[in-house]
Structure 1
Amino acid sequence: MVTTRFAYICRPFAQGLLDKTRALNELDFNKHQRARLRESISVDVRKLCDMLIPDARHPQVSVAAAEQAAAIGVDLGQETWHSQTRFDPKRAVFHYEHVNLVSQIVNALTYADSVGAIVQTVSDGLRLAWITKEEDARLTALGYRHKRPDPGAAYAEAGVVLLPPTPDPGHDRSDGVVSRAATG
């Protein structure tokens, strides 16, 4: 279920994403134009992620990243790629990662037929995680940087163990039911 906060933040992007995916499906663009439109959709998805994390969705954290973050007093569940240089000045320790690749979300969006379906698709596909640079190197060495049909299997093969996800803000943490405040 999508929380009201998540949907509210998605709203400025959802209509544009719907229009762009419809254009991609329906209009006769040349190869260059199609590539630029897909690129624009990818940028929109990335920027939407920047807005959603951590206010409407918490990033996941690998066990190894959590241990390293605890040693320096950082709660990665509240951090973003934009805040990383405060605790990891050269981005040398931690890697902010799309568990489900942006390209996978973009592909799934092409089947959405309404703004609500766009919001649901983004909600279903959006999984960001903090992992260590070493874990990222293992994923890359196994060929999972740009193609990851089964993210869980890729992470398992690379030995990356994610802590259980924290419920989205607006969910009751004890049972996963959306709180009354979140439903407005």
Structure 2
Amino acid sequence: MSTILSDPTFLKAFAALNVTSLAAIGGAATGMYIFSIPTILTAQRSDSSTLTMLKQFHHLITLGRKYMQNGAKIQALALCLLTWLFYRHPDPDISRLGKFFLMALVVLVQVAWYEVVFVFPINDKLVEMEGRLEKVCGEEEKGEMDRAMREEVLGLLEDWRKWHFGRIVIPFAAVGVVFAGLLSM
């Protein structure tokens, strides 16, 4: 019995949506790498305080947690469903695409451990530094601490940007795997 879930047109549309959302996740990560962190880092050439940089970064990772992490979870679930739909399809030409989507899923889930090991510790350190700086009471003491933390904060932001590059490469690698499968048809 044929259902919409086994309809080749539906599967192609769902696959196109998955590829597009994978690319969008990679694109959002690229935007953080190319635009957001460099914008925060321009504060080093201005009169902006270290605390301002830390607050901007905190806002950035809050948005990333809200949208990118949740989007990646939805993407992984959609990719699981699509993989299953391809594998169970009665047409062997369509069914064989399941292996490419499974490989893309395996590639994509690497983001989880990668972020936990390389990116999140830097997030935590910068947020902790922001908290320490905000707790300082006197303006003079706050200014001294702000200046004292500046180089470390700049270094951590550069490290974050360096490690965040993996967050860009992984979704685009998954897109490449899917394209390889689609081109093999």
Q: TM-score, normalised by structure 1?
A: 0.32
Q: Which has the larger radius of gyration?
A: 2
Q: Which has the higher helix share?
A: 2
TM-score, normalised relative to structure 2: 0.32
